[in-house]
Amino acid sequence: MSTYNGVTDPRQCIAGDAPRSVGKVYLVGAGPGDPDLLTLKAARLIGDAKVVVYDHLVGQGVLALVNHSARLIYVGKESGNHSLPQDRINGLLVDLARTGLDVVRLKGGDPFMFGRGGEEMEELIGHGVDCEVVPGITAACGISACTGMPLTHRDHARSVVFTTGHLKDGSVNLDWPALARPNQTVVIYMGLGALDIICRELIAHGLPRDTPAAVVHAGTTSRQVTLTDRVDRLAASVRRAGLKSPALIMVGSVVSLHSLLTQAPHPEELALTA
């Protein structure tokens, strides 16, 4: 497996290949974890790739589809542990393409849904590198389907809001009045570390304390854990259960449909309801 830490030369990734002038970069959505949820185009590109630059949230089942002769370059980001800063990932993609190699940049979920795909595409276009986005099922859609919590429902939610649990500067200064509005579903990505603040601020800005809420760990995979509770008790319940990232937070009355509409869980799945 190749790394890119300032020592490994991107040109090592094309040994034996006749280089073109500039390759193409595909920003490919790997979906929420279950490889069966890949698009046909994503699966084809992954299987044909000579080099794959992949993130932390790309599931092992998806990586298993990579051609055995391809080079895998890990650039994942975990809380407090970034293998490469974003600007160096951008530079890596440009460098690889300039060797004449077509590159699959593999991202969990969808490249344009909190996946920094727009930043990478800007950098590639700015350096004259052809690129294409291959959409993936974002975590909210995959987890909604497999937990029986519809994102919208005429009796529960007329709209859905996707937001990140922290801003670029690391703060949790979100648009709380908008997130606390009634008759909607709020889906929060990357918010587990700020769950206490999120729940407190939602209630402080008018969300009823007994609003149903959920945290889903490793959604769509065999490691999935679904925890549901009232929003005022959610953070404490998550601490007791010991849930860790990756996890998605859902808030709204659609969560009350979980026990009614959920599909048969994976054998290893744990469902927790307070």
C-alpha closest to that of 146 among 40, 58, 264, 241 = 264
Looking at every residue in the chain, the average pLDDT score rounds to 89
* The predicted structure's pLDDT at residue 76: 86
Same fold, 10-134 and 139-273: no
What are the beta bridge partners of residue 107? Answer: 29
* The predicted structure's pLDDT at residue 268: 43
pLDDT-derived band at 21, boundaries 50, 70, 90? confident
From 50-64, 148-162, 164-178, the region with the lowest mean pLDDT:
164-178
Structure-derived torsion over alpha carbons of residues 174, 176, 180, 186, reported in degrees to the nearest 10: 0
* The predicted structure's pLDDT at residue 166: 74
Please give the positions annotated as active site: 55, 77
How many Å apart are CA 131 and CA 200, to the nearest integer? 42
pLDDT in tens, 155-175: 999 999 999 997 666 678 899
- For residues 212-234, give the mean pLDDT: 96
Provide the percentage of residues in the chain whose pLDDT is more than 70.
85
Write out the E strands in 218-262: 225-230, 247-251
Q: What's the CATH fold of domain 139-273?
A: 3.30.950
CATH architecture of 10-134: 3-Layer(aba) Sandwich (3.40)
Provide the percentage of residues in the chain whose pLDDT is more than 90.
79
Q: Which residue is it, tokens 């997130």?
A: 179
pLDDT in tens, 182-210: 999 999 999 999 999 999 999 999 999 99
pLDDT in tens, 98-115: 999 999 999 999 999 999
Domain ranges, ordered by start, for the chain: 10-134, 139-273
